[in-house]
Amino acid sequence: MWIFNYLIILCLIVHVFTSDIETLDINEEESFLKSPKYLSNDELGLFFEDQTKKFPTLAKVHNVGTSVNNNTIWALEISKNVGNRSIGVPMFKYVANMHGDETLGRQLLIYLSQYLLENYNVLERITTLVDSVDIFLMPSLNPDGFASSMEGHCDSLNDYVGRSNANGVDLNRDFPDQFKDKTYNEAMFLTRQPETLAIMAWIVNNPFVLSGNIHGGALVASYPYDDSNSGRDCCEESISPDDSIFKDLAATYADHHPIMHKGDGCDNEKFTNGITNGAKWYEVRGGMQDFNYVHSNCFEITFELSCCKYPNSSTLPLEWHNNKLSLISFIESIHLGVKGQVLDENLEGINHAEVIVEGNNKTIYTTERGEYWRLLHPGVYKIYARALGYTQSAPSTITVTKDKTELLNFHLTVSPPSKEVLHHQFHFGIPMLKDLHNT
């Protein structure tokens, strides 16, 4: 009798296990894990070109800019309507290897591109993801640093060679700082590194909604803010207006990682549930994570994925399996909250309209087609829209759940300009950045 009961329990365990895998793994294509190696920047460019030839309706390669040593900063776009985004489809990005000696994310994004493309129309979950999100993957923001790094070195080399760019600058300290750089002028932007300037322009000139910035040397998901007005080195939270949803987003990655969620970092570090406020861990001034949130609509989380900065290539398949579900689940998080359009009386989209959640001073701005996406923690919110030359809408009460995106459109009527809205229009973003990037 006990044998019979044992077999029943065993069958139940196998059923639960295989059912869980089935949402992602059954019939999946992962032959790209054979003979693991890191690709050079030239190899990366050729690889992306091959992907666009193999999947011309799903993949498009982008040249985002060039490094100090004139290496191309590549990004691969993956989408059902690649190069022709449908209205309402949000834009997502992963950026890795901004510290050139932190290499795991670089190769994981290459694997992710292969996984998404080769499993499209094979795995339902992947097909749904690619159909509903415009995904951009940038394996290396710092190709010069990567070229100077050494495989197998778990710590940075002397003088941080490889971590920094070819000019010896830490790119994750090179962005305008919200507490230090309060006045924007052309001279300030001309002092930025070419890699920094390239991705700043990419961020502010595209309506990205969600982003992951992948690093190495620790094991944790870190959310804004990274710096604070106090100027302390660490140990004090710097809380953004969207602290709740940032915690949700960070937890999405950590919870799907077999190790990160346990909270055991590197060098005896402890992180509750594998996530941390950036400034509480250690303060970063001039970081890319805060720049995204302060100067665009994009919410970015920083993921530290390995205690070893440049792990041997033989470990890449294992690290892929550790991070695969997290990488995919985090992209899916882009559908949390509310989305819609701000429309005029002719049902035309209003560009650069403001979408405001009462009690939250983070404003979201519409695209040229009047689209917006507002990531929100589950709850009940009052949201309204306004735009220069239009009458402000009445607040709409909406309930946000964790299971789907709520659709909320606003219809505005023409009125005289509002000085308050004009103030917001003038101070949003960095209007000179596109011109500087193209000089």
- Asked if residue 24 has pLDDT above 70, the reply is no
Residues 139 and 244 in one domain: yes
Output the CA torsion sign for 84, 89, 90, 94.
negative
Average pLDDT of the segment spanning 164-182: 90
Say which CATH number the domain at 269 has.
3.40.630.10
Q: Is 217 left (phi over 0), alpha (psi -120 to 50) or beta?
A: left
Amino acid at 20: D
DSSP code at position 45: H
For residue 19, being part of any structural domain is answered with: no
User: In the chain, pLDDT over 70 holds for what percent of residues?
Assistant: 87
pLDDT for residue 1 is more than 50: no
Give the per-residue pLDDT at 390.
96
Mean pLDDT of the 286-301 span: 96
Task: Check whether residue 79 and residue 186 sit in a common domain.
Answer: yes
- Residue 96 and residue 224 in one domain: yes
Task: Report d(CA 97, CA 49) in Å as an integer.
Answer: 20
Active site residue 304: yes
Instruction: Could you list the beta-strand ranges (E) of 194-237.
Output: 208-215, 218-223
**Whole-number pLDDT of residue 232:** 75
CATH classification of the domain holding 381: 2.60.40.1120
Point out which residues pair with 411 in neighbouring strands.
343
Q: Report the distance separating Cα 299 and Cα 223, nearest Å.
A: 9
Reply yes or no on whether the pLDDT at 183 is more than 90.
Answer: no
Cβ-in-10-Å burial (0-12, 13-18, 19+) of 217 comes to: buried
Residues in the chain: 439
* pLDDT for res 119: 97
The 10s digit of each residue's pLDDT in 64-80 is: 999 999 999 999 999 99
Is there a domain that residue 8 lies in? Answer: no
pLDDT digits (tens, 9 = 90+) for 118-162: 999 999 999 999 999 999 999 999 999 999 999 999 988 888 889
CA distance 402 to 91: 19
Q: Are residues 215 and 113 in the same domain?
A: yes
What are 7-20's pLDDT values in tens digits? 443 444 334 333 34
> Does residue 4 belong to any structural domain of this protein?
no
The domain total for the chain is 2
Compute the average pLDDT of residues 368-375.
Answer: 98
Residue 430, pLDDT score: 54
- Whether 320 and 385 map to the same domain: the answer is no
Which run of H or of E encompasses 69? Answer: none
Q: Which of 81-90, 325-334, 365-374 has the lowest mean pLDDT?
A: 81-90
CA distance 407 to 88: 10
Q: Which domain holds residue 357?
A: 338-437
pTM of the entire structure?
0.90
Q: Are 5 and 94 in contact (CB under 8 A)?
A: no
Domain boundary pick from 300, 335, 370: 335
Residue where a domain terminates, one of 296, 315, 335: 335
Do 286 and 345 lie in one domain? The reply is no
Which residue is it, tokens 């998404």? 116
Q: Give the residue among 223, 188, 422 at the shortest CA–CA distance from 304.
A: 223
Average pLDDT over residues 253-258: 98
| DSSP 8-state secondary structure symbol assigned to residue 412 | -
156 and 279 part of one domain: yes
Q: Which of 304, 319, 354, 371 is catalytic?
A: 304
* Domain match, 374 and 287 both: no
In this structure, what DSSP letter does residue 206 have?
Answer: S
Question: Given a cut of 60, is residue 116 above it in pLDDT?
Answer: yes
Do 179 and 215 lie in one domain? The reply is yes
Is residue 234 very low, low, confident or very high in pLDDT (cuts 50, 70, 90)? confident
Structure confidence at residue 419 as a pLDDT band (50, 70, 90)? low
